[in-house]
Chains A and B, each alone.
Chain A
């Protein structure tokens, strides 16, 4: 069975400071890992994914994430946060033979203050 954990309900950061949103996962096989963002009253938007290869993945809006197999983590990062980054962020995992079934974390609310 696959699962994903986002240990922080909310992350507060000042504009211009680095932003990190944590995610750990559990799968029985090889994972496909995703980050999505949800703005208020909107659907989820894809940010980035890890499939294989380079452990550092770059995505939309200046976000990146680092896959760490030994720590089973896939933390989302942004070097300099913007107020417009305030949103709900979801980590998701899929096993390679899971028929497309995405398991989402509980979400982390990011609040960036001016």
Chain B
């Protein structure tokens, strides 16, 4: 049973295109996150949703638009892709927001390459 899954695993696309990455968790968690890992492996949070409500938005260009149709899903849509968007994007989930000592569970990542 996959706890946090992401699709696709690899995404290769041209500059200027629009693409989406999907994330689903079957852990019953109420909080989900998107992280970006750059080529130097540095991890930075992008967004966080709690019960479908946006909680964290970390100065991400508005070309990135997260959408949470329900507590188990958090999708990431990227418009007008740029070369600098090339990275690995990780989805994660945890239970509780103010109970912030709960660990986060990460998906396998989506490697986005913009040509």
A and B held together in a complex: yes
**Contact surface of A with B, Cβ cutoff 8 Å:** 32, 34, 36, 38, 41-46, 49, 51, 88, 90, 94, 96-102, 104, 106-107
Tell me which residues from 15 to 51 in chain B have a Cβ below 8 Å from any Cβ of chain A.
31, 33, 40-45, 48, 50
User: Taking the complex as formed, is B75 at the interface, i.e. its CB lies under 8 A from any CB of chain A?
Assistant: no
Indicate with 1 or 0, residue by residue over B86-115, a CB within 8 angstroms of chain A CB atoms.
000010101001101101111111000000
A100:B100 contact, CB within 8 angstroms: yes
Q: How many residues of B contact A (CB 8 A)?
A: 27
Chain B: minimal CB distance from A78 (Å): 19
State whether A100 and B55 are in contact (beta carbons under 8 Å apart), knowing that A34-B103, A43-B4 are contacts in the complex.
yes
**Contact surface of B with A, Cβ cutoff 8 Å:** 4, 31, 33, 40-45, 48, 50, 55-56, 90, 92, 94, 97-98, 100-101, 103-109
Contacting residues, chain A, for B104 (C-beta < 8 A): 46, 102
Contacting residues, chain A, for B42 (C-beta < 8 A): 104, 106-107
A-B contacts, 19 of them at CB < 8 A, read A32-B100, A43-B108, A44-B92, A46-B103, A46-B105, A51-B101, A94-B101, A97-B98, A98-B100, A99-B56, A100-B48, A100-B55, A101-B45, A101-B48, A101-B56, A104-B42, A106-B40, A106-B41, A107-B43
